[in-house]
Structure 1
């Protein structure tokens, strides 16, 4: 998540310090790697539109898939105003008097224009905006290394100074060893919000070109992304700015009305007297955050449309424009974007905190659902006598990996709002922002199960054939175009490599179920 990696990560630094932040991001990356391992095996074996949500309906219980679908939908919908509020926050770097309502309205209108047109224009805009994200990551990594060895206006080779003073581990809530442990928990829960990945790969698997080949590469590179982007990002943040930096604390914990930078990187650049780079970084951050919100509008629209097709949402959400845009499904995320106007009265920083807490619970429930679906899938394979050695991709250390991943995600979702139960910390609104989805999800499952009288799928009755013949028939028609992945596509886009004539026909023939 772009906003989490470049803005919200500052909360983890403030609460835990650089040492706790690095350890927490490393541990959680490993935990999420367990979930990724489960998702890879299922999604490569059965790459269908809707991914793990439809896997849940088919292999666990229709009511379980219903719950997962709405949980994921609400997660995406809430991230739209979250990104807009974050955009309001980073814009204060230039001016503090930019009307919040104007930014919120502008984002809503632009999201509407980009998503109401043909999908090719959405794809084209997101493709080019992705360059900004890659460039931003490269800039902050290079900035960290160059400045820490003395390449800055102050000629100060500060190295790991901030790990010594004010220190590697910050105390949070209380003092002493307990406070430092609670600081680590704060950093860990921030990592749980920031680090994402396998859910989106699974969701798009059914529409990917040559899914079993491309998805295998995509899931494998996820581990590298965790190591380089998230763990590397946590290391860099802890190097360039101290956890007790007054400007960072004021911006992230204040009312969001003052001037300054929301990103720890921009704070560090300003502290070192770097004049131009903060503006470039903040500009790229604006485009990246805008791109993230745009993606959530698109994904939530398609999720609601797919749920309608499966009978989990009203049929009128299936109505599309001539351009193929689900018009009524599109209206829902547009309405959710209006939540960002709450920033006018409460401040962008506070709204970001509320929405982050709410979406983190949904995100963790998603991962709990993925591990649960995999355990049912694993059991069905075993009962039906299908060897995992025959699968297109075989995950490692199963089913123990799934069980351990399930346990870690359950513990995280149960305890990530523990501070509300501490003496003097109780706040009803904060409690519900943490745990609302923990109450809503079981209600969705039980309600649909009672209404539709669904049953848990027995392992011997699980449909492991499903769309496999269609997928294999599609793969048999493919022509290898020699594509090497994202960077190869980038080279084609800018004319550094020829695009084969078969590319477009292959993309258009991708199965959508």
Structure 2
């Protein structure tokens, strides 16, 4: 299930900060906007991936195929370290979920235990890891389903036997919180802040959905180096289905959280310090339901640990794929007898050590820093995906939706996605706390919000000046690193051209 890796504390904890800033109506609207944006971005990535499928997945190859090697390298490294940064984020928010907000040495042991579980499980044989992921995904989905059922029960009065809650918190203190300003301007700023905080639950979701569909659904059916076109044609429908099954539970959860807690509850933000308790936990404590809050806290903790190990798996395989394609040091592709790229896993696992920041500062504040950094890197990745789509359409001569594997929403979805990504990227530094103490020094928040931009630029120019790789043209020759992928791309192009009467698909002619 595509929902598995993304269903973590970004939903259970991050949404609490969004609720505190924007209110229940703003939370629901922001999740609806981000769900629509997820669909647009997923179709953007899926259309390119369907025409040029590779066994390494779309997270790595398309940047090199349709842009310069330098841009592809910068985009690949961006996606690697952003996925890796989810690991300390999930570990830190796990501490927040347990109420371990205050810094100190007592938190270090708990962090070490979780890190050992997250990193150690990634050294399991791949087939055992995927089996365990199948199991924990169902645990996370079951947790979400139980929380939604409890919210419904509490809302209609079935849990407490007292007055019905319903949409009481939508009326008092209100549906939309006025942030910084009074009136409509304050509600607009509250909605914008709500979207920024909620983005953490959707970051990389479009690319992960397409990546999983591409690598798991398409590649098993092959004849030689030629992909079965019937399998290839199923990818758009698979992606659309996964988007719906991923975003619908998120929208229902945002509605349920608006029922469970008021936006002015100080526990949502640890009294304005940053991340606080989940709205679900606050609602259960308010309803005075025994044992269930403890069980829910354990379930949310399990979800965060499972998400951390999933993101570490994705990040390490991204780094390994870059090495296998010749874009990273060859030592990173070394695998043991169980198929585990242990060097890539070890290098990526080092990011988990950043969670020890919580030993020196409040885990609520540390979580906010990680959220800002991951969000900005995710917005950059969305922009890169839009640029790849533009070059793909340009190189294949598709100005309109005449291709057989396209989506009716394109290219409008790409334009909308690029505009929204740019707005969110530039607005990310505006994230602050609710009225009162803000999460950490402002200069630290700005650095966390925007440092991904100069890092991306440094990666690009450093690679370009080192290799002096010219920009690609439609008549450039194949590079030695892509001999296998080019052969496959030519085969797919010949199949599509013979069946649909169109021009040869891109994939082989756009590689240096």
Correspondence 1:428-439 to 2 at 5 A = 428-439=443-454
The verdict on how the C-alpha distance between 1:94 and 1:293 changes in structure 2, with shifts beyond 3 A counting, is: same
Map of 1:38 onto structure 2: 44
Task: Provide the aligned length of Structure 1 versus Structure 2.
Answer: 463
The verdict on how the C-alpha distance between 1:168 and 1:98 changes in structure 2, with shifts beyond 3 A counting, is: farther
1:116 partner SS: coil
Q: Within 2, Cα distance between the matches of 1:311 and 1:97?
A: 43
**Shift of residue 461 of structure 1?**
5.3
Q: 2:34 aligns with which of 28, 42, 53?
A: 28
Map of 1:47 onto structure 2: 53
**Shift of residue 306 of structure 1?**
1.3
Q: 1:237 aligns with which of 257, 270, 274?
A: 257
Map of 1:17 onto structure 2: 23
Map of 1:416 onto structure 2: 428
Q: 1:360 aligns with which of 362, 375, 397?
A: 375
CA contact (8 A) 1:376 1:459 kept: no
**Shift of residue 360 of structure 1?**
0.6
Which ranges in structure 1 are unaligned for 5 or more consecutive residues?
A: 475-513
Map of 2:329 onto structure 1: 314
2:269 partner SS: helix
CA contact (8 A) 2:16 2:268 kept: yes
Q: Within 2, Cα distance between the matches of 1:336 and 1:96?
A: 20
1:183 equivalenced with 2:190 (yes/no): yes
**Shift of residue 141 of structure 1?**
1.5
Correspondence 1:28-427 to 2 at 5 A = 28-48=34-54, 49-92=56-99, 99-196=106-203, 197-211=205-219, 212=232, 215-225=235-245, 227-250=247-270, 253-254=272-273, 262-382=277-397, 389=402, 391=404, 393-418=405-430, 427=442
2:406 partner SS: coil
The answer to which of 65-74 and 177-186 deviates more is: 177-186
The verdict on how the C-alpha distance between 1:262 and 1:473 changes in structure 2, with shifts beyond 3 A counting, is: farther
Which ranges in structure 2 are unaligned for 5 or more consecutive residues?
A: 1-5, 220-231, 479-484, 496-512
**Shift of residue 446 of structure 1?**
2.1
Q: Within 1, Cα distance between the matches of 2:191 and 2:477?
A: 42
2:166 partner SS: coil
2:337 partner SS: coil
2:23 partner SS: helix
Q: Within 1, Cα distance between the matches of 2:336 and 2:234?
A: 30
Q: Within 1, Cα distance between the matches of 2:306 and 2:236?
A: 26
User: Which 4+ stretches in 1 moved above 6 angstroms?
Assistant: 93-98, 462-465, 470-474
TM-score normalised by length of structure 1:
0.83
Q: Within 2, Cα distance between the matches of 1:125 and 1:112?
A: 14
Map of 1:6 onto structure 2: 12
CA contact (8 A) 2:17 2:274 kept: no
1:357 partner SS: helix
Q: Within 2, Cα distance between the matches of 1:3 and 1:58?
A: 34
**Shift of residue 153 of structure 1?**
1.5
CA contact (8 A) 1:355 1:433 kept: yes
Q: Within 1, Cα distance between the matches of 2:78 and 2:411?
A: 25
CA contact (8 A) 2:20 2:263 kept: yes
Q: Within 1, Cα distance between the matches of 2:255 and 2:466?
A: 50
